[in-house]
Amino acid sequence: MTTKRIARYGLLIALALILSYLESLIPVFVAVPGVKMGLPNIVIMFALYSLGTKDAVIISLIRVVLAGAMFGNVFAILYSAAGAVLSLLVMTLLLKTKRFGPIGVSVAGGVAHNVGQIIVAILVTETAQIVFYLPVLCISGIAAGVLIGIVSGIVIERLKIEDKR
């Protein structure tokens, strides 16, 4: 791994952690646990478009572990990791089709993230009724996905990133 690549990873991971921290300071006025704006996903979208899937996965998973250790607990890491993996899988597949822009990719990633978290919650609690949270989480995933997609699209365009489709 080159020095330039290591520095890029460090910068993007640090930025994602800063956004994770800022997100933890923003109060969410929804009665359903797990609803967040997904600010760190701006960094992940940037990495996905500018560096490719492998680098986006590495940056995302390192961010999940570090943010969970700093701002959460083992369960936070477990839920976030499941959401991140499913989200990245869906976003990568949509990106490869070349039919979706940053907003569509981000929305699908936001919803997939919530589905991944619900799956883990059902397995951890052994309570299938948690699936009833999914519609609210999907609505929040769509809303956050649109916001993150818009911001990511602006960042990608302004930095003239050639996407890795």
In this structure, is residue 145 part of a structural domain? yes
Q: Which amino acid is at 117?
A: Q
Confidence (pLDDT) at 107: 98
Confidence (pLDDT) at 163: 46
Confidence (pLDDT) at 36: 82
- Could you tell me the CATH number of the domain that includes residue 74? 1.10.1760.20
In this structure, is residue 165 part of a structural domain? no
Confidence (pLDDT) at 34: 64
Confidence (pLDDT) at 161: 57
Domain range holding 146? 3-158
In this structure, is residue 57 part of a structural domain? yes
Domains: count for the chain: 1
Helix (H) or strand (E) holding 67: helix 53-71
Phi, psi of 63 (to 5 degrees): -60, -45
In this structure, is residue 163 part of a structural domain? no
Number of other CB atoms surrounding residue 44 within 10 Å: 25
Helix, strand, coil shares of the chain as percentages rounded to 5? 80, 0, 20
In this structure, is residue 59 part of a structural domain? yes
In this structure, is residue 61 part of a structural domain? yes
In this structure, is residue 107 part of a structural domain? yes
* Cα–Cα dist 164/96, whole Å: 9
- Tell me the residue ranges of DSSP E strands in 15-148: none
pLDDT in tens, the chain (165 residues): 789 889 999 999 999 999 999 988 887 766 666 678 899 999 999 999 999 999 999 999 999 999 999 988 898 899 999 999 999 999 999 999 999 999 999 999 999 999 999 999 999 999 999 999 899 899 999 999 999 999 999 998 888 755 444
In this structure, is residue 164 part of a structural domain? no
